[in-house]
Structure 1
């Protein structure tokens, strides 16, 4: 993995870590499933009108969108709406990393080196330490919902890999076309057919503008920029090489929740964050050597 790609991975971690703060602001105004559907609908409409669909099998595009878009965010938004603390949500969601590595090894037969296994194990141990320290802040149901969101993310990663697109940015944009309809149908069934739309109308007010600002961050930075860069990385490298970068997201998420939401981390949580970073660095060291001997995917064409 080149220095540029490592910097891209770190950029994604920062964008996605702060994304949890924007989600929290949005959920204070919108019902969760409607908010999840709205974030993708805002992107899907111009994509269908102006962006050519990538030349990939439809089934893998649907798998990518269903896992990464629908499953991940339906479960995540439901978990945070049910009381999952913002910083803890950013941590537990990164269960997608071990899920991705295990599914990639079992279903795609991707090779994982011994040092990568050690690195990911150390990072997961750090996440476990943080989770143990902060588990009193959340009940079991929100934690389980967030773990299911991590599994959905991992399923989406496999769909991305199987698509083998030489146009990863277009693939990411068209992935956003998949979740809106099922998410809005779920919202109408669970939250009521007009609840979300009334909340959207109310957001165009002095009290509602923070929710729109949160939506703008999620769409422009969290989804288009963050997911676009992630799609580029995972199209160039095996899933097990890219996945450890996602373990840096909770470090940013917990720090952001600490600064802006007064979710103060303890010493144990800070030690756990340091362990996560150490594990990521260990996995990245192996990834650098592996990528120098393995041809990368074709460069991005937009």
Structure 2
């Protein structure tokens, strides 16, 4: 890769890692479902007016919108609101690689390489190691595991869709997700909670919403899509392993989260296991994107 493009890859993963800190900030101002609804509404409009018609069948846009936008991010936001630390969230969410391989084997009949299986067993072990210190926050941890499972399923749907323009695809996915999320927020959070959050809207809330919608979602996926088109998933996907590093480091710096030895050991197992699976994927000639799809 050219040095400029390496810089883009690192910058995008830094944006996605820091995104967990911003989500934590946003959850101080909004209920989880409302925050998620506002995030995807802002990501879709007014961008929808400029990106043109979708380039993939509608069934895949709807599927990814409901699985990724509604389910995955709602579980992620709910888990963090329930007490899951931002830094650990960025790590535990990488369980998506395990679920991606499982769903690919079940739905796409892809037979994983033995080395890939071994790598993902290591990654699963790292996630399990982190779970041992969650204590009373086990429910929040399980919400993050659910988010990882939803992300894995959406990866398979995105793989089937094979969008030629990642940014355009994400704008339409965001548009599909925004409507159901608004309805869910009204039903679950209640109109009064939403109105209270909007009345208390301030610059910090605006910053959090702008970051997760425009910088993380639109700019992040635009940069990542550019790299995937130029170099392919096998070259670009390993950079995604920087996300937990940036997530845990930024949470420690900006939120004062303590990094425990168990977190470090779990992170090494998760990142090492997924990288091992990616290496095996490239050796076997399989698309690395089947293992790792990023963004937060």
Q: Which residue does 1:251 correspond to in 2?
A: 245
Q: What runs of 5+ residues in structure 1 fail to find an aligned partner?
A: 297-302
Change (3 A) 1:276 1:141: closer
Q: Which residue does 2:99 correspond to in 1?
A: 99
Q: Which residue does 2:134 correspond to in 1?
A: 135
Displacement, 1:162? 1.3
Choose the corresponding residue for 1:200, options 192, 198, 201.
198
Deviations 1:206-232 (A, max 9, x none): xx3222211122122321133445566
Counterparts of 1:191-230 in structure 2 under 5 Å? 191-203=189-201, 208-229=202-223
- Quick one: distance in 2 between partners of 1:10 and 1:85? 23
- Quick one: distance in 1 between partners of 2:100 and 2:236? 10
Change (3 A) 1:194 1:227: farther
Q: Which residue does 1:83 correspond to in 2?
A: 83
Tell me which moved more, 226-235 or 279-288.
226-235
Change (3 A) 1:96 1:3: farther
Question: How much is the aligned-residue C-alpha RMSD, in angstroms?
Answer: 3.0
Displacement, 1:11? 4.7
Q: What runs of 5+ residues in structure 2 fail to find an aligned partner?
A: 290-296
- Quick one: distance in 2 between partners of 1:11 and 1:282? 23
Displacement, 1:271? 2.6
Q: Is the 8 A contact 1:234 1:242 kept in 2?
A: yes
Q: Is the 8 A contact 2:129 2:266 kept in 1?
A: yes
Q: Is the 8 A contact 1:31 1:196 kept in 2?
A: yes
Change (3 A) 1:230 1:158: farther
Change (3 A) 1:83 1:267: closer
Q: Is the 8 A contact 2:22 2:211 kept in 1?
A: yes
Q: Is the 8 A contact 1:172 1:228 kept in 2?
A: no
Q: Is the 8 A contact 2:97 2:274 kept in 1?
A: no
Q: Which residue does 1:260 correspond to in 2?
A: 254
Q: Is the 8 A contact 2:131 2:141 kept in 1?
A: no
TM-score calculated relative to the size of structure 1: 0.82
Change (3 A) 1:119 1:94: same
- Quick one: distance in 2 between partners of 1:42 and 1:243? 27
Q: Which residue does 1:25 correspond to in 2?
A: 25
- Quick one: distance in 2 between partners of 1:228 and 1:158? 20
Q: How many residues align?
A: 285
Change (3 A) 1:116 1:109: same
Q: Which residue does 1:281 correspond to in 2?
A: 275
Q: Is the 8 A contact 2:165 2:225 kept in 1?
A: no
- Quick one: distance in 1 between partners of 2:121 and 2:238? 10
- Quick one: distance in 2 between partners of 1:7 and 1:113? 31
Q: Which residue does 1:108 correspond to in 2?
A: 108
Tell me which moved more, 249-258 or 17-26.
249-258
Q: Is the 8 A contact 2:127 2:266 kept in 1?
A: yes
Deviations 1:114-169 (A, max 9, x none): 2222223223323332332x313x52321222211112212221221111222232
Deviations 1:249-269 (A, max 9, x none): 333322222222121112232
Deviations 1:264-283 (A, max 9, x none): 11223223323333334323
Deviations 1:70-106 (A, max 9, x none): 1011111111112222222222222211111110121
The alignment partner of 1:125 has SS state of helix
Q: Is the 8 A contact 2:20 2:90 kept in 1?
A: yes
